[in-house]
Chain A
Amino acid sequence: MSDSAHGIGGLKYDPKKKARPQELNVFIALAIIVVAFEGLGRILYGDSFLFNTRDNVDAIFNWARLNIIILQVSIVGIIALGVTQVIISGGIDLSSGSIVGATAMIVMSFAQTELVNGNPNPKAIFGPWAMDLPVIVPIVVGLCCGLAAGLINGALVAYTRIPPFIATLGMMVSARGLSKWWSNGNPISFPTESYAALGRGMWPVVYFIGLAILFHLILRFTVYGKHTYAIGSNEDAARMSGINVARQKVLIYAIAGMLAAIAAIVLSSKNLTAQAGMGVMYELDAIAMTVIGGVSLAGGRGSIIGTVLGALIFGVIISGFTFLKLDAYYQEMVKGAIIVGAVVLDQWRQSRSSMRS
């Protein structure tokens, strides 16, 4: 074990112990998966996964597919950005999918238009006062919903002994209940034109990338980021170093809640409707993206870049299964297997790194 010698003022350092950046491994995994689908596609169907095979389109890549992949993962990806921070801090957030549902219902109630084809909005929730409001109103309402849910999560985790798993499980059930109660299970539809424009086309991708860059910078370069890693790495050390661990946790969960709310706004705008069942299972997809991206469930390790790559792997796998014309049931099963596999890999990494020290 301790074959390395240490002298006064001459502590030895073994450069071989420096691990390869986690993100590189994730990127390699992404490349391997893409190549695998490419190979299978060519063998089974004589079709390409990645490249354009149509003569009437002038492009090297199959942009249609690539766009769908990234569009598919963008909304859950936004949630995953928050989940990443929660998991790095040593917590877990099971409530994000339900926060999406509840926020979408509430937001949509403030984003409705008065007249649909000249008739009163058949899905109207509130009276005329809440019709055709400026788009900033539903946005602010949505952010407040996410903030409130996140603050409750954070306060429960930080100031009680309830483990994050249980606290956010409670929020998961309650927020889903709220979204069902809000309109007695009826969908809420017909948003204003300006609200509908928010999630149109490739905008979700733009938001995802923009937020990813923002939170990458925040985690990497700010005190908030450093303390998030410190708490996940060694909470006692963080506390003894004078970090206000409770306040930091509240902040982390609040940000995660707001990111879930942003996802809710984008999703309801994109779909032009909100339903009580919106965002079901999104929390698991977000956790999966995060873990696939190399964020350790034990805390202290991972990055936004990893999570973005994890989201891409997630999207590629789903799109690849469609491409290979596999049944949706298989997709679910394989998704489950991938999550478990990522967690096993994470645990193996941990035991290996603790053996080294």
Chain B
Amino acid sequence: MFSTLAPILLQATWETIYMVAVSLSIATLFGLPLGVLLATSGRGELFEALWFQRVFGPLVNATRSVPFIILAVAIIPFTRFVVGTSIGTSAAIVPLTVAAIPFIARIIEGAMREVDGGLIEAAQAMGARPVQVVTKVLLPEALPGIIHGLTLTAVTLIGYSAMVGAVGAGGLGDLGIRYGYQRFRPDVMAAVVITLIVVVQAVQSFGDYLARKADKRNI
């Protein structure tokens, strides 16, 4: 029995990892600059732009307050426009990415705001230009917090990917619903759950390890 289950389980695990890795990467690409600008465009800050705060602050909050499964359904036309279909693993990446961008942006904003203002001042006194304050001071100092946040995002996305799995995206969630639930195979369900736990555990441990390595505040 295990011999027939193993390949499907492996395939599903791979699909989950693929969905999460790709959506996390693309979301970071967009979320990073968004988070940096949210953290630096307030009154009296490096790139003061109050209109940016007023437009993107609420937008980020709005996206974050929509339950993921509703977001995934609501943006189906957009998903179809981007990947040509709304079904399948690649299609699932679109809602996962859209949900992760504001999440990551807030995490990066938060981590950057944690950096002691005295460091910004010291950098400016040394003759740092605003962009240099971000690249040389704020991001390196916020790195442990950013890694923690991205780990949290990855774990959340694993959960979300199981949800989109339920609407035909493949992955572990899909496997659990189709075999474990609909065909009543408790062994498959158990295997899926255990695999999810292992994957989440592995991601969390790896993220913690990276964050610890980046953190030079307590040596």
Q: Do A and B bind each other?
A: no
